Amino acid sequence: MPEVPKILWQSYKSIDRLPVESLPCIDSWLRLNPGWSYYFCSDEDIEAFFRHYHGGSFLSLFEAMPLAVMKADLWRYAVLEEFGGFYADIDTICYFSLEDWLDRQTGLHVACEEEDTYFSQWAFGGPPHHCVFRTVLELIRERVERDGGVDQTMDHYVHHYTGPSVWSDAIRKHLGVEKAPGALADDRALQRRREVRIYPPDHFNGTKIRHITASMFWRRLPGYESWQAQRRDLANRLF
């Protein structure tokens, strides 16, 4: 298994439209990880990436996504599948250098969500071409093709097609077991065999990293565009 490269990935619509509140968050990643390369990707950058990724074979899937957040979800899996590194949402704060706690020889690094239903996909990392990245991309493609596109009448369709639901299904498929994330976090022998490191919820969301959850706390701030608001606007236009 190749090691996790020292690359940090973040994205938003454009660097010019970043919410002011995100700047200290981004700075925390840069300041505490000076030995890591940093890449910020705009919506335009993400589209350009998919025109070249795997010969453009995922471009139609990218274009099938009705919301920018779903395209960004697809990109975070694909860019780590291609290049590896560590991805973090712009509403996350880094408390400790990745060098202090992330074993770059381990494989995939992911944490449980607090409600123990999903694995976190607002921060995760791994080496290029890790099986979980390819698995989640194929699961997304399968769901979209099976449904003849993204079924926007479905409750929580963002979670189902590109968000924590499909991400968690991909991890369980790779591990070969259907258990809650918390139970899998306790099984260190399985993690070693499958080259995955699963952290408890407070490791990412409190101890090493803090997730502010911008969709809840930044939604009324000037400049911030919530994916939940985008979903409501799209539903109002369609239905």
Rounded CA separation 61/74 (Å):
9
Q: Closest Cα to residue 8, out of 74, 73, 99?
A: 99
Q: What are the domain boundaries of the chain?
A: 7-238
What is residue 205's predicted lDDT score, i.e. its pLDDT?
73
Q: Closest Cα to residue 179, out of 165, 192, 169?
A: 169
In the chain, where do the E strands start and end? Answer: 7-11, 37-41, 85-88, 92-94, 108-111, 123-126, 196-199, 209-211
Residue-level pLDDT, tens digit, the chain, 239 residues:
789 999 999 999 998 988 888 899 999 999 999 999 999 999 999 999 999 998 888 999 999 999 999 999 999 999 999 999 999 999 999 999 999 999 999 999 999 998 889 999 999 999 999 999 999 999 999 999 999 999 999 989 999 999 999 999 999 999 999 999 999 999 999 999 999 999 998 888 788 999 887 555 455 555 555 545 444 444 444 44
What is residue 18's predicted lDDT score, i.e. its pLDDT?
87
Q: Cα–chain-centroid distance for residue 198?
A: 15
What is residue 130's predicted lDDT score, i.e. its pLDDT?
97
Choices 1.20.1070, 2.60.120, 3.90.550, 2.30.30: CATH for 7-238: 3.90.550
